[in-house]
Amino acid sequence: MSVTLEGTRKGLVSANTPRPKPNHTQNIMKVITTILSVLALASFVNAAEGDAKKPKMDPAKAFAKMDANSDGSVSKEEYMATPQAKKDSAKAEKSFAGRDKDKDGKLSKEEFTAAPAKKKKKDA
């Protein structure tokens, strides 16, 4: 029986010598990385669904919360002090003006809880 030698980078090895197996540690790291990636993706999806399912506050409760001085109406200053109004003051002023039907500078509970008028689409 003759043994032939095969050249490799590390030197000469016998043809009967088994080739090295893939690094077990690398395989484990690939599996762990894949699992962590799937978990991260699932958490982002779950967080996005949680935001979409956030219930809106009852209009009567929102009105009571905005009416800081409990006088039964929401002044423009009280309306503009809300977090939503602070994010976009121009939009909030337009919203306040649209809801203030009698133009007295404050919103009654009826004005506040009434659905805002729908915008009419212009025909092109």
| pLDDT per position as a tens digit, 64-99 | 888 989 898 999 999 899 888 889 989 999 988 889
In this prediction, residues 45-49 reach a mean pLDDT of: 73
Contact yes or no for 59/113 (Cβ under 8 A): yes
How crowded is residue 47: how many other Cβ atoms within 10 Å of its Cβ?
A: 9
pTM of the model: 0.49
Higher per-residue confidence, 47 vs 25: 25
Strands (E), the chain: 5-8, 11-14, 73-75, 106-108
Residue 35 has pLDDT above 90, yes or no: yes
Contact yes or no for 25/78 (Cβ under 8 A): no
Higher per-residue confidence, 109 vs 6: 109
DSSP, collapsed to helix, strand or coil, labels residue 5 as strand
Q: What is the mean pLDDT of the chain?
A: 78
Label the pairing between strands 73-75 and 106-108: antiparallel
pLDDT above 90 as % of the chain: 19
* C-alpha dihedral (84, 87, 93, 96), degrees to nearest 10: 0
Residue 52 has pLDDT above 60, yes or no: no
Residue 100 has pLDDT above 70, yes or no: yes
Contact yes or no for 3/15 (Cβ under 8 A): yes
